[in-house]
Amino acid sequence: MILNINKTWGIDILGGYSMTSGLTKWCKRLSVPGLLLALMLIVSACGSKEVPAGQGASPTSAGAGATGAGVQPSPGTSGSDSMAAAAKTIKDAMGEIAIPVKPSRVVVLDNAALDNLLALGVKPIGAASVASLNEPFPAYLKGTDGIANIGTIAQPNLETIAKLAPDLILGTKVEQEAVYDKLKKIAPTVFIENVGVQWKDNLKLHAEAVGKTEEADKLLKQYEQRVEKFKKDRGTKPSRVALLRPRQDHVRVYLPETFSGAIASEAGLTRPAAQNVKGKQHLSVTEEQIADLDADVILWFGRESELAYFNDKIRKNPIWGTLQAVKANQVHQVSPETWLSGHGIQSVNLMLDDLTRILAP
């Protein structure tokens, strides 16, 4: 039944009873029950409003979250919630993206994000292993119990991630750009560009994504204070350091433009001339170039499966014994979990612990 109210309180009941001569004639023709029914219909029609888009409407597709038009609620959340009203826009390695203001189900795809989030007081629901499926998370990280393994950094398992129903995914453009479009269909996805020398910027982006910027600022300030103390305590002690990683058929020298190299530089340590190379991350040294490894201090970090060449071809070579660091008993093994693949604020502090123990006891 459709009602049309004219200026003289006349009512046309289209498709049914018709009255045009005003309220008086209309009242005479209608019985009391009929009149009450008509008035109820009028009030109901006047009181109804159209629900704007985004207010009780069904959520948009997952891709909309990446354009800033809105964010689809994670599977298992109420579709009636207006995610757009509880979203914020941040800028990452892929551009601008809308994400939840307070994400509560975060999946991380690299060690930097796992390390940083735990330091910020946020426990992810899923995380990637470094090299192989079901590989334990780094032992130096506390509070990883109950975090689901979602595959490796290079090959995250999208089905496993989707089953976890995350509301935010943190990853790395260099490692996972090929699956970015698929990831953002599962949940809003924030990418850092890469791990390494930009570890401070990565911490800040991770903190912004999970609403912990103040905590990140505090962590960075504490780190900077520790660096200044280390420099003061070390004084004028020898500072040339070589950072080595044994590989299966050579030794990889980590240069200043790497994660470990950046930490050494921030701590005021210098590099031997042969290792002070710009525009590169690594040098490969074989037994014929052992002299290029020389420094005041040698720090080396490697996995057990790759130590044979280092032990048999490098350390047993007579030239190794002529190196300054070897003669001064300044060759120190440090953890690959922190110096090689940590990439977060917790690993940075443990690296500074190593430097303090070795160079400023």
Structure tokens at 271: 């590099």
- Considering only residues 341 and 2, tell me which one the structure prediction assigns the higher pLDDT: 341
**CATH class of segment(s) 233-359:** alpha beta
Looking only at the bridges linking them, the beta strands covering 126-129 and 148-152 are parallel
> Are 83 and 70 spatial neighbours (Cβ–Cβ below 8 Å)?
yes
Q: Which neighbouring-strand residues pair with 11?
A: 5
Residue ranges, CATH 3.40.50.1980, the chain:
64-211, 233-359
Q: Between helices 111-119 and 345-359, what is the axis angle to 10°?
A: 90
Q: Does residue 89 surpass a pLDDT of 60? A: yes
- pLDDT (tens digit per residue) in 103-152: 999 999 999 999 999 999 999 999 999 877 667 899 999 999 999 999 99
Query: Does 77 or 142 have the greater pLDDT score?
Result: 142
Question: What is the Cα–Cα distance from 302 to 252, expressed in whole angstroms?
Answer: 10
- The model's pLDDT over 298-323, given as tens digits with 9 standing for 90+, comes to 999 998 889 999 999 999 999 999 99
Mean pLDDT calculated for residue range 174-191? 98
* CA atoms of 202 and 195, how far apart (whole Å): 8
Question: Which of the 8 DSSP states describes residue 31?
Answer: -
Q: How would you classify residue 95: left for phi > 0, otherwise alpha for psi between -120 and 50, otherwise beta? A: left
pLDDT score recorded for residue 134 = 67
Report the chain's mean pLDDT, rounded to a whole number.
Answer: 82
* 209, containing H or E segment: helix 199-210
Give residue 21's pLDDT band: very low, low, confident or very high (50, 70, 90).
Answer: very low
Q: What is the pLDDT of residues 262-301, one digit of tens each?
A: 999 999 999 999 999 999 999 999 999 999 999 999 999 9
Counting every residue, how long is the chain? 361
Q: Residue 176: is its pLDDT beyond 90?
A: yes
pLDDT digits 0-9 by tens, 208-237: 999 999 999 999 999 999 999 999 999 888
What pLDDT, on the 0 to 100 scale, is given for residue 132? 73
Q: Does domain 64-211 have CATH number 3.40.50.1980?
A: yes
Cα–Cα distance between 30 and 10 in angstroms, integer?
Answer: 13
Q: What percent of the chain has pLDDT over 90?
A: 71
Report, as an integer, the average pLDDT of 2-31: 40
pLDDT value at 35 more than 70: no
Query: What's the pLDDT at 165?
Result: 98
Q: Which two tokens stand for residue 250?
A: 């050579």
Is residue 101 very low, low, confident or very high in pLDDT (cuts 50, 70, 90)?
A: very high
* Between 290 and 79, the higher pLDDT residue: 290
Q: What is the pLDDT of residue 239?
A: 85
Higher-confidence residue of 32 and 313: namely 313
Does residue 248 surpass a pLDDT of 90? yes
Q: Residues 299, 241: contact at Cβ < 8 Å? A: yes
For residue 316, give the amino acid letter.
K
pLDDT (0 to 100) of residue 264:
97
pLDDT above 60 for 31: no
Percent of the chain with pLDDT over 70: 76
Q: How far apart are CA 92 and CA 190, in angstroms?
A: 6
Structure tokens, 8: 């003289």
CA dist 13 to 5, 41, 42, 49, 129, Å?
A: 9, 11, 11, 21, 70
Question: Over 50: is that where the pLDDT of 88 sits?
Answer: yes
Cα angle vertex 208, ends 225, 132, to 5°? 90
The mean pLDDT of 43-49, rounded to a whole number, is 40
Name which of 12-26, 251-265, 339-353 the model is least confident about: 12-26
